[in-house]
Structure 1
Amino acid sequence: MTQSIAWIDWLVIVAYCVGLLAMAYWLSRRQHSREDYYVAGRNVGPWPVGLSIMATQCSTNSILGAPAFVAFTAGGGLLWLQYELAVPLAMIVLILFVMPLFRHLKLVSVYAYLEQRFDLPSRLTLSGLFLFVRAFATAVTVYSIALVIDLITGLGFTASVLLLGAFTVLYDVLGGIRGVIYSDVIQLLILTAMLLVVLIFLVEASGGFGEMWQAFSSERKSTLDFAHHGFGDGQTFAFWPMLFGGLFLYVSYYGCDQSQVQRQLSTRNIDATNNALLINGVLRFPLVFLYCLVGVGIAVFAARHPEFIAALPDSGDGPEYNLSVPLYMIHALPVGLVGLSLVALFAAAMSSLDSVLNSLSATTMEDYVRRFHRGSWSARRELVLSRLITALWGGVTLIMAFFVGDIAPTVLEAINKIGSLANGPILAVFALGFIAKDVCGRHVIVGLLGGIAVNGGCWLFLPDVSWLWWNVIGFLVTAVLALLLSFVWQCTDDGTSRRALDRRENVDGEFIDGARLNRDLYERAIQSHLRREARFDWYRRSLWLLVWFGALLALLMIISS
């Protein structure tokens, strides 16, 4: 598949890399503290944050995997679109119930909330789980994308890792979260533009959009599957598991995962945070729909050109369909646009890597280094240390990328399953903190482990149960187990329960009553918002998202009819 890349295309790639580095250096001059580095001084507007959230989700695995799912995967097709119905609903939950509390606490690490609500072991358990899973997944992502770069350019695996990873680490170290956000916006625009270009070329090759749509398999045009439930029928991508499993997954990911919450904490105020969530909830579907249409075009093109499939590398189980989009790009696009298409692939990978590295650094700094350091540091020293930790995590993930080769193919296939093992239990821990007054740290840790264990049992012994249901199953098991333990395993008056009337110090140095932590802070967050703007705005945004959900459901019904 290796293609000789023209010098103009290399010039485009070099210009893009140099431009991002220059922007990161310029932004680094505005950083004076760790809060500038990790949450951009809490002064970013809603549009950059909303688009950055979208860009992180639109990874290279999505750009390569989703069109392949639509075009070639057995049982695939446009069914993937029903997964996106859960996004607007998840944004409603975050706007109304989650972000008001987190914003009021002025967190940098979302896991700091767990220490205030439960205890230190709860904070360290969830933080450590995040560090392990994200670092490993990032190493696998670097490995997989380096393979793609190597296949396209012939640079070799080591050079491909350094080209992608080392460059991303460098501008991440310099730019901090502000650099991550603004580079994500640039990368999303480039990626969207190139997907549109590829779709235009595919439409022209098919003789028009109508011709392309008619030539697409009727079985793959189905966007909704109400006939199956995913509980033992072997149908992973039925409507109900994708809606409810997706809802729990997205609330957990956007509301309890440091890589996403950190960005939402960087906005000016709660209004800007909610607007960013609204932007993501509305614009994410059109982007996913775009690369699914690219999958439609690829399917039609491959059916009419059998040599196209023959040109794909052999994965051992047949052609590597995930490389169909880059293969089409380098052979169908003219010189110059090939360079931009490679930049688009780099951008999709970088938008995932940069945010993860910054969040790994923030979690390490806040939950371990600053938490256990006795004494005080200057703001400048904390900033330098934050950058060093980012560089350290970058080096760790790049080194790990050279050692995941034997297991990467399996992990890539199961990466969504791995996330679903823990997403539901993690969400349950935070939800119990919000609403269950008598549950303490030891209860949620046991519940968390129990939820993950039950999901692991589903993976091993119940393969016909859709892995999307694990997000719901893990949530329920964790919540029920923790609540039952709260009746038989009483917490002591050591600050581990809201029943214990201790006094905790919050992030601003104020003392608050641990027994009323969540109720009081949430009410204060609401009252603070009421003084600035009518509370109706929260519900207005939620209503727009609910209307959008209905419109998307109607659209999918029309496509399937």
Structure 2
Amino acid sequence: MNQSISWIDWLIITIYCIGLLAMAYWLARRQESREDYYVAGRNVGPWPVGLSIMATQCSTNSILGAPAFVAFAAGGGLLWLQYELAVPLAMVVLILFVMPLFRHLQLVSVYAYLEQRFDLETRLTLSGLFLFVRAFATAVTVYSIALVINLITGLGFTASVMLLGAFTVVYDVMGGIRGVIYSDVIQLLILAVMLMLVLAFLVDASGGFEQMWQSFAAERKTTLDFAHHGFGDGQTFAFWPMLLGGLFLYVSYYGCDQSQVQRQLSTRDIDATNNALLINGLLRFPLVLLYCLVGVGIAVFATGHPEFVAALPDSGNGLEYNLAVPLYMINVLPVGLVGLSLVALFAAAMSSLDSVLNSLSATTMEDFVRGFHRGRWTPHKELILSRVITALWGGVTLVMAFFVDDIATTVLEAINKIGSLANGPILAVFALGFLTHRVQGRHAIAGLLAGISVNGICWLTLPEISWLWWNVIGFAVAVNVALILSRLWPGNGNRAIRNDLYETAIRHHLREEARCNWYRRSLVLVAWFVGLLVLLLWMGLGT
């Protein structure tokens, strides 16, 4: 697949990489403590944080996988868009009921709340689960992206890992979360511009947008599937599992996952945090629609150019349709734009890796290192140690990437399912802390393990149930098991001290001191949800 990449394209890539390193070095001069390093001194504005959150979601796997799903996947097409309907609703839940608490507590690690509400064991259990899942998933991501870089450039797998991973680790170690946020903004802008350029080329090759849309297979234009429920009918991407399962998934991911919450904790106040979530809730759908339309264009182009599909490499399990977009970029775009397109792919990968490495470091430092260190370090020593931990996690994930080749094919197919195994039960633990007084740490951990176990059984024995439902099933199982055990296995503990955390935070931020009425402003997101639903209905009827 690898075509000749000109020196101009390599020069563009080199300038981009050097520019990011220079920015990270400049930002590093402002760091004086671990809070500067992990939450940017809590003074970042809402726009950088909101765009950074969006950038993390637009990973290379999404940019390559979504167009392939729209263009080539069996049972695929524009059905993927209905998954995005859950995003604005999830943002409403986070704005009104989750982030006021975390901002009130001035957290660095989101799992620190669990110690205040439950106990240290609950905090370490959730933190350890995050470290395990995220480190493994990051290694697989590095592996898969390195394969793409190797196929495009012909550099070789090892060199591809070093080009992507080592560079990301270096600027991440220097820049901290502020470097992550601002580099994500730059990467998102580059990615959006390149996707629009690719779409423009595809539209021109099709003879105009209307002609491209008319040439797209009618069965792939379906945007909403109300005919199935996904709960035993074998239909994974039906409307209800994507809406309800997606809602639980997104609330858990954006509200209980350190890699996402950490950036939201970097804003200057709760209003800035909520505005960042509002930005994500409003702008994410247009971006996803953009790369789904690229998938439409790729499908039409492939129909008229059978040699294009034939040029895709064969993985042994079939053609690598995920490489259709970079193959099109290299073969069609002129010199210079090829370099920018490769920068866009690197940017999508880096925006996923940098935030994960920083959050792995933050969780390790806050929940384990500082938690078990009895002495007191100076702010400068904590900053140095934070950078060292980031570098160590970067090294671990890069090394792990060389050992996942035997299982990567199956893992890559199942990587989205892994999150759904645990997201619902993890959300349940936090919800039990928010909304109950009787449940204690041991009850919550038992519920967490029960929820994950039931989801695992569904995966192994009930494949006809959509994996999106696991987010709901795991949540329901975890909550009910914890509530039952709290009745059968009660205990004392300092509940009176712990259980007013949530009520105090909500009252403090939303009723007394918030500078704008977020109960009213969140209705914008509800209206956006309704508008998107109408849009998808119109698109579906237009087939």
Shorter-chain TM-score: which interval?
Answer: over 0.9
Deviation digits for residues 439-482 of structure 1, max 9, x if unmatched? 00000000000000000000000000000000000000000000
Larger deviation: 110-119 or 483-492? 483-492
Deviation digits for residues 25-58 of structure 1, max 9, x if unmatched? 0000000000000000000000000000000000
Aligned-partner Cα distance in 1 for 2:372–2:492? 24
Q: CA deviation at 1:524?
A: 3.0
Aligned-partner Cα distance in 1 for 2:46–2:218? 40
> Does the CA contact (< 8 Å) of 2:78 and 2:292 recur in 1?
yes
What amino acid is aligned across from residue 221 of structure 1 in structure 2?
K
Aligned-partner Cα distance in 1 for 2:365–2:288? 34
**Corresponding position of 1:14:** 14
Aligned-partner Cα distance in 2 for 1:341–1:171? 21
Equivalent runs, 1:14-413 vs 2, <5 Å? 14-413=14-413
Aligned-partner Cα distance in 2 for 1:109–1:157? 35
Deviation digits for residues 245-292 of structure 1, max 9, x if unmatched? 000000000000000000000000000000000000000000000000
> Does the CA contact (< 8 Å) of 2:101 and 2:501 recur in 1?
no
> Does the CA contact (< 8 Å) of 2:312 and 2:323 recur in 1?
yes
Q: CA deviation at 1:532?
A: 5.0
Q: CA deviation at 1:340?
A: 0.3
Helix, strand or coil at the partner of 1:21? helix
- 1:559 correspondence with 2:543: no
Helix, strand or coil at the partner of 1:402? helix
Moved over 4 A (4+): none
Aligned-partner Cα distance in 1 for 2:326–2:532? 29
Q: Which runs of 5+ in 1 are unaligned?
A: 502-512
Aligned-partner Cα distance in 1 for 2:94–2:390? 28
Aligned-partner Cα distance in 1 for 2:499–2:472? 29
Cα distance, 1:205–1:248 mapped onto 2, change above 3 Å = same
Helix, strand or coil at the partner of 2:74? coil
Q: CA deviation at 1:518?
A: 2.6
Deviation digits for residues 409-434 of structure 1, max 9, x if unmatched? 11111011000000000000000000
- 1:548 correspondence with 2:541: no
Q: CA deviation at 1:540?
A: 2.5
Q: CA deviation at 1:317?
A: 2.3
> Does the CA contact (< 8 Å) of 1:117 and 1:518 recur in 2?
no
Aligned-partner Cα distance in 2 for 1:276–1:228? 35
- 1:533 correspondence with 2:533: no
Instruction: Quote the RMSD (CA, aligned, Å).
Output: 0.8
> Does the CA contact (< 8 Å) of 2:78 and 2:220 recur in 1?
yes
> Does the CA contact (< 8 Å) of 2:35 and 2:108 recur in 1?
yes
Q: CA deviation at 1:315?
A: 1.7
Equivalent runs, 1:439-454 vs 2, <5 Å? 439-454=439-454
Deviation digits for residues 459-517 of structure 1, max 9, x if unmatched? 00000000000000000000000000000001233x4xx2xx4xxxxxxxxxxx23433
Aligned-partner Cα distance in 1 for 2:325–2:5? 16
Q: CA deviation at 1:4?
A: 1.4
Helix, strand or coil at the partner of 1:491? coil
**Corresponding position of 2:501:** 517
- Give aligned-pair identity as a percent: 79
Helix, strand or coil at the partner of 1:106? coil
Q: CA deviation at 1:194?
A: 0.3
Aligned-partner Cα distance in 1 for 2:457–2:209? 46
Q: CA deviation at 1:308?
A: 0.5
Cα distance, 1:286–1:515 mapped onto 2, change above 3 Å = closer
Aligned-partner Cα distance in 1 for 2:155–2:253? 35
Deviation digits for residues 147-185 of structure 1, max 9, x if unmatched? 000000000000000000000000000000000000000
Equivalent runs, 1:451-470 vs 2, <5 Å? 451-470=451-470
Aligned-partner Cα distance in 1 for 2:295–2:513? 49
> Does the CA contact (< 8 Å) of 1:143 and 1:401 recur in 2?
yes
Helix, strand or coil at the partner of 1:268? coil
Q: CA deviation at 1:521?
A: 3.6
Helix, strand or coil at the partner of 1:116? helix
Cα distance, 1:71–1:378 mapped onto 2, change above 3 Å = same
Aligned-partner Cα distance in 2 for 1:292–1:61? 13
**Corresponding position of 1:507:** none
What amino acid is aligned across from residue 474 of structure 1 in structure 2?
G
**Corresponding position of 1:508:** none
What amino acid is aligned across from residue 529 of structure 2 in structure 1?
F
Aligned-partner Cα distance in 1 for 2:440–2:501? 13
Q: Which runs of 5+ in 2 are unaligned?
A: none
What amino acid is aligned across from residue 127 of structure 2 in structure 1?
S
What amino acid is aligned across from residue 142 of structure 1 in structure 2?
V
**Corresponding position of 1:509:** none
> Does the CA contact (< 8 Å) of 2:270 and 2:514 recur in 1?
no
Q: CA deviation at 1:375?
A: 1.4
Q: CA deviation at 1:522?
A: 3.2
What amino acid is aligned across from residue 175 of structure 2 in structure 1?
G
Helix, strand or coil at the partner of 1:165? helix
Deviation digits for residues 382-421 of structure 1, max 9, x if unmatched? 0000000000000000000000001111111101100000
What amino acid is aligned across from residue 209 of structure 1 in structure 2?
F
What amino acid is aligned across from residue 84 of structure 1 in structure 2?
E
Aligned-partner Cα distance in 2 for 1:19–1:84? 33
Aligned-partner Cα distance in 2 for 1:515–1:552? 38
Helix, strand or coil at the partner of 2:359? helix
> Does the CA contact (< 8 Å) of 1:278 and 1:541 recur in 2?
no
Deviation digits for residues 66-97 of structure 1, max 9, x if unmatched? 00000000100000000000000000000000
Aligned-partner Cα distance in 2 for 1:531–1:290? 39
Helix, strand or coil at the partner of 1:401? helix
Q: CA deviation at 1:318?
A: 1.7
Deviation digits for residues 75-125 of structure 1, max 9, x if unmatched? 000000000000000000000000000000000000000000000010000
> Does the CA contact (< 8 Å) of 2:134 and 2:356 recur in 1?
yes
Q: CA deviation at 1:323?
A: 0.3
Helix, strand or coil at the partner of 1:5? coil
> Does the CA contact (< 8 Å) of 2:270 and 2:509 recur in 1?
no
Q: CA deviation at 1:523?
A: 2.5
> Does the CA contact (< 8 Å) of 2:85 and 2:243 recur in 1?
yes
Aligned-partner Cα distance in 2 for 1:95–1:197? 35
Aligned-partner Cα distance in 1 for 2:451–2:513? 41
